[in-house]
C-alpha cells in the first residue's frame, strides 16, 4: 500500500510541489478538494442560470451563446439540445464534483484525522492519489463540453437507450456521452480510494480514550458516508462499464430488440433498459445520502457548540446515521415506481422508503431538542446550521409525497421531484458546506471570516433559495414535467409561466449574492480578523491545536480523550465547556 504514517510524521515536506501540489498532508488535500468543489459549484450554478434563462426566454438572441456554442446556439438562440446538455452537465457536476467532494473529501479529509487525534489519514499516498484522480475526472468531464457533438443530453441519470445508441438518439450522444461515462468511471475509482482511507482511519487510528461512541457526529457522518460510497460507487462502475460496452462494443446489456432510432433499425437484442436503472439507482440512492450525511454531521456539531448544550440524544443520532446508511441501500426502487418494474416490488420499496423517513425525523427532533433550553449564539456558522434544519424539513417533507407510488403516478418526472431534490441536495447540503466553512475557517487560516458579510450572504441566500425552489412544488402539482427546454407547446404550461419567471429572477439574484461569499472567503484568508485557537469555545480535538495546525497536527504528541464530544454547560464545571482531552 503506502508508507506507514509514522514514517512521514517526523519530516515536514519541503519544496513547493511537495507541499502544495502533490502533498501527502490530509489538510492540504482537504483544501484541494474544497477548492475543486468551489470551482465546480460556480460552474454548475452558471449552467443553472443559463437553463433558467432559456426556460423563460427561449427565443432570446444572445450573441455570446453563439460564440461559445456555434452549433448549439446558432444565431445566438439556444437550441433545445443545448439546453438539455447544459442540464445534464449541471446535474452531473453538482452531484459528483460538488456534493460528493467538499462535504466528505473536503471537510472530512481535513478534520477527520484531527478530530480523532491522528497525525494523518491511514494512507497518505492513496489520499493524494484520490484527489488527483478526482481532478482528472473533472478534466475529462469538462472536456465533454468541447468534443465534437458537444456534451451529452441524457441527464445525469443517463438512461439507455437514449444514452446507449450513440449520436443516433441526439446531439452530444457521441463522444460527449463517452467522455461522460469515462469521467464518472474515473470518479468511481477516486471515491473508492477515499473510502478506504476514511474507513481505515476511523476504525484504526483513533486516539486513546476515543471510543466510537465518543466520536463527534461529524466523524460518524464521514465514516458512514465512506461506507455508502464504497459499496455504491463499485456498482456505478459496473453499470458504467456495461453502458460503455453497449455503446462501443456492440453488446446488448441494456438494449432490447426492435429498436428503430432515427429511421435506422438497430440489431441489438435482448437487453433491458430497466437493468441500467436498477444498477444506477442502487448507487444513486446511497449517493444522495452521501451528499447529505456530512451536512447533518456539521449541523449537529454546530448546533451543540453554539447552543452551549450537548447534542440531544447522541446515541439516537448515531443510530439514526447508521439507520439512514443501512436503509439507504434498500430503497432505490422509489426512483423507478413508474418505470415498468414489478408493481409489487414498488410496494415493498415504498414501505422501506417511508421507514427511512423515521431516522431523518429523529435527527430533526433532536436538533430542535438540542436548541431547547440552550444559550444560542448567532454566528454566521450557526445561522447556516439553523438554516440547514429548516431546509431539511422542507425538502424532506416533500419526500413523503414522492415515496408513495400512488401519488408518484402524478408527480414522477414533474417539477415536484425537482423541487424536492434541490431543497435537500441543492440547498440543505450546500448550507452544510457554508456552515462548515465559517466554523472551521479560523482553524484552517487562523483568521475569522467577516461576520457582517456572512450574515448578509446568509439571509439573502436563505430567502433566495426558498424563492427559487418552493414554487417548484406548485409547478409539480400543476403537472409541469421536468427536463423541458421550454413550455411553449402546451396550453396548461403557458399559465404557469409567471412562476417560472419569478424563479428565474430569484435564481439570478441568489447567484449574484454568492459572490459575496466568494469575496469573503478569499479576502478573509489575508485580511480576516486574527482568531484564537479556540474561537468558539468548542470541545472537539481540532480546537486544542494551533491555527493553522502544524503539518503533523499534534506536534508529535498523542492526545488522550477523557470526555464525550459535546460536554457543554456541565453543572459544576469551571467553564461552560469541557474539551474532549481535558483531564477526567
Binding mask 162-191 for other proteins (x = CB under 8 A): x--x---xxx--------------------
DSSP per-residue string spanning 308-369: TSPPTTHHHHHHHHHHHHHHGGG-GGGG-TTTTS-HHHHHHHHHHHHHHHHHHHHHHHHHHH
Taking CB under 8 A as the criterion, the residue among 434, 441, 462, 536 binding other proteins is 462
Chain residues 419-458 in contact with other proteins, contact rule CB under 8 A: none
Among 41, 89, 259, 425, binds other proteins (CB under 8 A): 259
Q: Which stretch binds other proteins (CB under 8 A): 4-12, 33-41, 132-140, 520-528?
A: 4-12
Q: Could you tell me the smallest distance in angstroms from the CB atom of residue 504 to other proteins?
A: 16
Contact stretch for other proteins (CB under 8 A) within 98-106, 290-298, 433-441, 479-487: 479-487
Gyration radius of the chain's alpha carbons: 24
Q: CA 221 to CA 482: how far, in whole Å?
A: 32
User: Residue 357, exposed/middle/buried by CB under 10 A (0-12, 13-18, 19+)?
Assistant: middle
Total residues in contact with other proteins, by rule CB under 8 A: 167
Angular region, 205: left φ>0, alpha ψ -120 to 50, beta rest:
alpha
How many other C-beta atoms lie within 10 A of the C-beta of residue 407?
A: 15
Residue 414 engages other proteins in binding (rule: CB under 8 A): yes
Distance CA 510, CA 259 (A): 44
Stretch that binds other proteins, among 19-27, 42-50, 93-101, 481-489 (CB under 8 A): 481-489
191's grid cell: 471515491
Helix (H) or strand (E) holding 32: helix 26-56
d(CA 175, CA 451): 47
Q: With beta carbons less than 8 A apart as the criterion, state whether 271 and 256 touch.
A: yes
Alpha helices in 158-268 (DSSP H): 175-204, 217-248
CB of 237 to other proteins, least distance (A): 6
Q: Does 201 bind other proteins (CB under 8 A)?
A: yes
* Interactions with other proteins, residue window 364-403 (CB under 8 A): 364-366, 368-369, 371-378, 383, 386-387, 389-390, 393-394, 397-398, 400-401, 403
Which CB sits closer to other proteins, 252 or 445? 252
Closest CA to 84 of 72, 96, 70: 72
First to last CA, the chain: 38
For the CB of residue 92, give the shortest distance to other proteins in the complex, in Å.
14
Stretch that binds other proteins, among 11-19, 482-490, 517-525, 528-536 (CB under 8 A): 482-490
Phi-psi domain of 75 (left: phi exceeds 0; alpha: psi -120 through 50; beta: other):
left
- Binding of residue 211 to other proteins (CB under 8 A): yes
Contact set for other proteins, span 271-330 (CB under 8 A): 271-275, 278-279, 282, 307-310, 312-316
User: Should residue 260 be labelled a site residue for other proteins when binding is judged by CB under 8 A?
Assistant: yes
Beta-bridge mates of residue 577:
568
Segment interacting with other proteins (CB under 8 A) among 24-32, 39-47, 150-158, 511-519: 150-158
From 248, 236, 246, 239, select the one nearest 269 (Cα to Cα): 246
Q: Residue 49, interface with other proteins (CB under 8 A)?
A: no
Which of 293, 561 has the CB closer to other proteins? 561
Query: Judged by CB under 8 A, does residue 118 bind other proteins?
Result: yes
- Residue of 49, 499, 513, 516 that binds other proteins (CB under 8 A): 499
Four-residue CA torsion sign, 478, 479, 484, 490? negative
Comparing CB distances to other proteins, the nearer of 445 and 504 is: 504
- Exactly one of 125, 136, 182, 407 binds other proteins (CB under 8 A); that residue is 407
* 155 binding other proteins? (CB under 8 A): yes
Q: Which of 103, 150, 152, 161 binds other proteins (CB under 8 A)?
A: 161
Give me the least distance between CB of 555 and other proteins, in Å please: 12
What is the closest distance, in whole angstroms, from the C-beta atom of residue 21 to other proteins in the complex?
24
Q: Which of 74, 250, 532, 546 lies at the binding interface for other proteins (CB under 8 A)?
A: 250
- The DSSP call for residue 157 is T
| CA trace torsion 36, 37, 43, 47 (10° rounding) | 150
Residue number, 214 or 447, with CB nearest to other proteins:
214
Please answer whether residues 240 and 156 qualify as being in contact, where contact means their C-beta atoms are separated by less than 8 angstroms: no
Minimum CB separation from other proteins for residue 446, in Å?
25
Report the relative pairing of strands 260-261 and 264-265 from DSSP bridges. antiparallel
Buried b (16+ CB within 10 A) or exposed e, 485-505: bbbeeeeebeebeebbeebbe
Work out how close the CB of 495 gets to other proteins at its nearest, in angstroms, rounded to a whole number.
8
Does 230 participate in binding other proteins (rule CB under 8 A)? yes
Nearer Cβ to other proteins (139/409): 409
| β-sheet bridge partners, residue 530 | 447
Piece of 134-142, 263-271, 429-437, 530-538 that binds other proteins (CB under 8 A): 263-271
Binding map of other proteins across residues 332-351, x = CB under 8 A, - = no contact: ------xxx--xx-xx--xx
Amino acid at each position: 500500500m503506502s508508507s506507514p504514517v509514522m514514517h512521514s510524521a517526523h519530516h515536514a515536506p519541503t519544496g513547493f510541489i511537495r507541499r502544495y501540489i502533490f502533498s501527502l498532508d490530509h489538510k492540504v488535500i482537504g483544501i484541494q478538494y474544497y477548492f475543486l468543489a468551489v470551482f465546480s459549484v460556480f460552474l454548475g450554478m452558471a449552467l443553472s442560470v443559463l437553463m433558467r434563462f432559456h426556460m423563460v426566454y427561449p427565443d432570446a438572441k444572445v450573441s455570446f451563446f453563439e460564440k461559445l456554442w456555434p452549433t448549439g446556439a446558432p444565431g445566438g438562440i439556444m437550441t433545445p439540445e443545448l439546453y438539455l446538455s447544459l442540464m445534464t452537465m449541471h446535474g452531473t457536476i453538482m452531484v459528483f464534483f460538488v456534493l460528493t467532494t467538499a462535504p466528505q473529501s473536503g471537510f472530512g479529509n481535513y478534520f477527520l484525522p484531527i478530530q480523532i487525534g491522528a497525525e494523518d489519514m491511514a494512507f497518505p499516498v492513496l489520499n493524494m492519489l484520490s484527489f488527483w484522480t478526482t481532478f482528472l475526472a473533472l478534466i475529462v468531464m469538462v472536456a465533454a463540453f468541447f468534443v465534437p457533438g458537444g456534451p451529452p443530453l441524457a441527464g445525469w441519470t443517463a438512461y439507455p437507450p437514449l444514452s446507449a445508441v450513440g449520436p443516433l438518439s441526439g446531439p452530444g450522444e457521441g463522444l460527449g456521452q463517452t467522455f461522460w461515462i469515462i469521467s464518472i468511471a474515473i470518479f468511481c475509482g477516486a471515491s473508492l480510494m477515499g473510502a478506504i482511507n476514511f474507513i481505515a482511519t476511523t476504525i484504526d487510528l483513533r486516539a486513546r480514550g476515543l471510543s466510537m461512541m465518543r466520536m463527534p457526529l461529524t466523524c460518524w457522518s464521514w465514516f458512514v458516508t465512506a461506507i455508502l460510497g464504497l459499496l455504491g460507487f463499485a456498482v456505478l462502475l459496473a453499470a458504467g462499464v456495461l453502458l460503455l460496452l453497449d455503446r462501443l462494443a456492440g453488446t446488448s446489456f441494456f438494449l432490447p430488440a426492435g429498436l428503430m432510432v432515427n429511421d435506422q433499425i438497430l440489431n441489438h437484442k435482448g437487453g433491458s433498459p430497466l437493468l441500467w436503472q436498477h444498477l444506477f439507482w442502487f448507487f444513486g440512492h446511497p449517493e444522495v445520502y452521501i451528499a447529505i450525511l456530512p451536512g447533518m454531521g456539521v449541523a449537529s456539531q454546530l448546533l451543540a457548540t453554539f447552543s452551549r448544550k450537548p447534542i440531544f440524544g447522541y446515541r439516537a443520532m448515531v443510530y439514526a446515521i447508521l439507520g439512514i446508511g443501512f436503509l439507504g441501500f434498500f430503497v432505490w426502487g422509489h426512483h423507478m415506481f413508474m418505470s415498468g418494474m414489478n408493481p409489487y416490488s414498488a410496494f415493498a420499496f415504498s414501505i422501506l422508503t417511508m421507514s427511512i423517513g423515521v431516522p431523518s425525523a429523529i435527527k430533526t427532533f433532536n436538533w430542535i431538542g438540542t436548541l431547547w433550553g440552550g444559550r444560542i449564539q448567532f454566528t454566521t456558522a450557526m445561522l447556516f446550521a439553523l438554516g440547514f434544519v429548516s431546509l431539511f424539513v422542507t425538502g424532506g417533507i416533500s419526500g413523503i409525497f414522492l415515496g408513495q407510488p400512488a401519488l408518484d403516478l402524478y408527480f414522477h418526472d414533474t417539477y415536484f421531484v425537482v423541487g424536492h431534490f434541490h431543497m435537500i441536495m441543492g440547498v440543505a447540503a450546500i448550507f452544510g458546506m457554508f456552515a462548515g466553512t465559517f466554523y472551521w475557517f479560523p482553524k484552517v487560516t487562523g483568521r475569522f471570516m467577516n461576520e457582517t458579510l456572512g450574515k448578509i450572504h446568509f439571509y439573502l441566500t436563505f430567502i433566495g433559495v426558498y424563492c427559487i425552489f418552493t414554487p417548484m412544488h406548485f409547478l409539480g402539482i400543476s403537472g409541469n414535467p421536468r427536463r423541458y427546454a421550454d413550455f411553449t407547446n402546451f396550453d396548461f404550461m403557458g399559465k404557469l409561466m409567471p412562476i417560472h419567471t419569478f424563479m428565474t429572477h430569484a435564481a439570478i439574484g441568489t447567484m449574484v449574492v454568492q459572490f459575496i461569499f466568494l469575496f469573503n472567503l478569499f479576502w478573509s484568508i489575508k485580511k480576516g480578523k486574527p482568531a484564537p485557537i479556540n474561537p468558539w469555545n468548542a470541545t472537539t480535538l481540532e480546537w486544542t491545536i494551533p491555527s493553522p495546525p502544524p503539518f503533523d497536527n499534534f506536534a508529535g504528541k498523542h492526545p488522550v480523550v477523557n470526555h464525550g464530544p459535546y460536554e457543554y454547560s456541565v453543572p459544576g464545571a469551571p467553564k461552560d465547556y469541557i474539551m474532549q482531552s481535558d483531564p477526567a
